[in-house]
Amino acid sequence: MENHTENHRAFEQVCLQFVELVVPEDMLDFVNEQTVVDVFHQSVYQRLYQGKRSRVKLSFVRQSHGRHERVFLTIRELDAPHYEVRAEGVFRDGEIWLDHVRK
Amino acid sequence: MDKPLFGPFSRKGSYSRVEVIDSVFADRRFTTLFQEAIHPTEIDDLTLYRRYLKKGERVLFYGALDAEAFNTLCGEGYDLYMVESETELCANVDPRFRNRIYGFSMDVVDCFGEHAFESLVLPGTKISCYSRGELLLFLRRVGQLLTTEGTILCHIWNASHVRRVAHNVGSRRIDGCTVFYGSQVSGDQLILNLYLKDRNREKVGYAVQHLYEANALIDLARLCSHAGRTLYTGDTVTVLEFQRIS
């Protein structure tokens, strides 16, 4: 299971690179990180980013097998009412691998 | 060891060479068996959901509905979405409908807003995975997903049926590996144990399902301002519906 506190700086860089890869149209800055528990008792680690045109959430969901974590990138244009899931990836061995971009 | 293991599974788990895993979803063969165990055969998913869901209503499944059923119902025009955190449980969903799957509820609220769903469905006997305390918390929090008239649809094992058929031990071949399984009722819990040996690796796993009587569940839900009613009582399962009391 990945430990986000080890090599935290490297982890921050990996996350930012992934966000920039998926959202090339905006310049995004890291704002905050949080761990939240959803309605179904699922604990999720999130990193929040803010740009001139959008807000982005990068969420990490642990998998029972422990081989990797599932990553979701959601984005909200600042004048839009809701977020949309832009991409899914996999966090493994200190890297985020893009799985697919949602259309 | 305080893991809910019994009989031969407990003995296997006591050996240092045998890995005890705490979640059946950590091994795909255990996952396959567990998913089958919590999906009653008395009710056909397609028949059930065609009967109780309405096209035009937005429905959220928590937990993986059988992929074939999900694909079929989406293809028929039902407006279905799913929250499922484990990637492997969504593997067979048609690529046309993969955008309807979310990993956790906050993303659903972020993308749809609060109170966006007319119905929340817990497929199989998913609700039995929750203890009483977890159910109370769940019912308190679920309101943010549902409209004011929204309903929760679920089914539970009939406890009398489970007590009759538990204590079976059997084996299945899954992905070229023999998986042994057994079940035991302990108080108000159904405990499933699993064991497999794959080349040189041995694993033991377990899962706990909480047994509820329909009336007890309805009384519990009332504590969280939800009214419940029985939609169907069969030999093995009971189908229940809950709605927030306004």
Answer whether B105 sits within 8 Å of A84, measured CB to CB.
Answer: no
Query: Quick check: is B102 in a domain?
Result: yes
At residue B76, the pLDDT reads 97
Nearest CA-CA distance, residue A42 and chain B, Å: 7
Query: Quick check: is B237 in a domain?
Result: yes
Pick the residue from chain A with its C-alpha nearest to B126. Answer: A40
Q: What is the 3 state secondary structure string of chain B?
A: CCCCCCHHHHHHHCCCCEEEECCHHHCHHHHHHHHHHHCCCCCCHHHHHHHHCCCCCEEEEECCCCHHHHHHHHHCCCEEEEECCCHHHHCCCCHHHHHHEECCHHHHHHHHCCCCEEEEEECCCHHHHCCHHHHHHHHHHHHHCEEEEEEEEEEEECHHHHHHHCCCEEEEEECCEEEEEEEEEECCEEEEEEEEEECCEEEEEEEEEECCCHHHHHHHHHHCCEEEEEEEECCCEEEEEEEECC
Same domain, B142 and B83: yes
Same domain, B82 and B16: no
Same domain, B11 and B73: no
Of B26, B105, B138, the CB nearest to A65: B26
Query: Quick check: is B1 in a domain?
Result: no
DSSP state of A33: E
Closest CA to B35 of B126, B154, B166: B126
Distance separating alpha carbons of residues B21 and B171, to the nearest angstrom? 19
Same domain, B222 and B133: yes
Of A63, A81, A85, the CB nearest to B107: A85
ipTM of the complex, rounded to two decimals: 0.91
Answer whether B144 sits within 8 Å of A41, measured CB to CB.
Answer: no
Same domain, B96 and B190: no
Domain count, chain B: 2
Q: What is the mean pLDDT of each run of 10 residues along chain A (103 residues)?
A: 69 96 96 93 94 97 91 96 96 94 82
At residue B77, the pLDDT reads 96
Pick the residue from chain A with its C-alpha nearest to B26. Answer: A65
In chain A, residues with a C-beta closer than 8 Å to the C-beta of B112 are 82
> For residue B107, what are the domain limits?
45-157+213-244
Closest CA to B67 of B57, B59, B75: B75
Answer whether A36 sits within 8 Å of B106, measured CB to CB.
Answer: yes
User: For A69-96, b where at least 16 C-beta lie within 10 A, e where not — what string?
Assistant: bbbbbbbbeeeeeebebbbbbbbeeeeb
User: For B112-131, b where at least 16 C-beta lie within 10 A, e where not — what string?
Assistant: beeebbbbbbbbbbbbbbbe
Nearest CA-CA distance, residue B240 and chain A, Å: 19
Pick the residue from chain B with its C-alpha nearest to A84. Answer: B111
Query: Quick check: is B232 in a domain?
Result: yes
Instruction: Judge whether B62 is closer than 8 Å to chain A, CB to CB.
Output: yes
Q: What is the mean pLDDT of each run of 10 residues along chain B (246 residues)?
A: 87 94 90 82 89 95 87 96 89 92 95 96 86 90 93 90 82 92 91 93 93 92 93 93 90
Same domain, B139 and B199: no
Answer whether B23 sits within 8 Å of A64, measured CB to CB.
Answer: yes
DSSP state of A67: S
Distance separating alpha carbons of residues B35 and B54, to the nearest angstrom? 26
Pick the residue from chain B with its C-alpha nearest to A73. Answer: B107
At residue B39, the pLDDT reads 76
Distance separating alpha carbons of residues B29 and B44, to the nearest angstrom? 23
At residue B40, the pLDDT reads 75
Same domain, B126 and B189: no
Same domain, B80 and B141: yes
Residue B28 backbone phi and psi in degrees, to 5:
-65, -30
Q: CATH number, domain at B130?
A: 3.40.50.150
Nearest CA-CA distance, residue B137 and chain A, Å: 8
Residue A42 · residue B108 · CB < 8 Å: no
Closest CA to B203 of B27, B71, B3: B27
Answer whether A102 sits within 8 Å of B99, measured CB to CB.
Answer: yes
At residue A1, the pLDDT reads 42
Residue B134 · residue B144 · CB < 8 Å: no
pLDDT digit string, tens, across residues B169-212: 899 999 899 999 999 998 899 999 999 999 889 999 999 989 99
Answer whether B26 sits within 8 Å of A70, measured CB to CB.
Answer: no
At residue B159, the pLDDT reads 86
Residue B155 · residue B238 · CB < 8 Å: yes
Same domain, B165 and B150: no
Q: ∠B232-B238-B244 over CA atoms, to 5°?
A: 80
Q: What is the pTM of this model?
A: 0.90
Query: Quick check: is B2 in a domain?
Result: no
Distance separating alpha carbons of residues B216 and B239, to the nearest angstrom? 14
Answer whether A59 sits within 8 Å of B106, measured CB to CB.
Answer: yes
Same domain, B59 and B152: yes
Answer whether B103 sits within 8 Å of A103, measured CB to CB.
Answer: no
Pick the residue from chain B with its C-alpha nearest to A99. Answer: B87
Same domain, B51 and B152: yes
Same domain, B71 and B126: yes
Distance separating alpha carbons of residues B211 and B127, to the nearest angstrom? 10
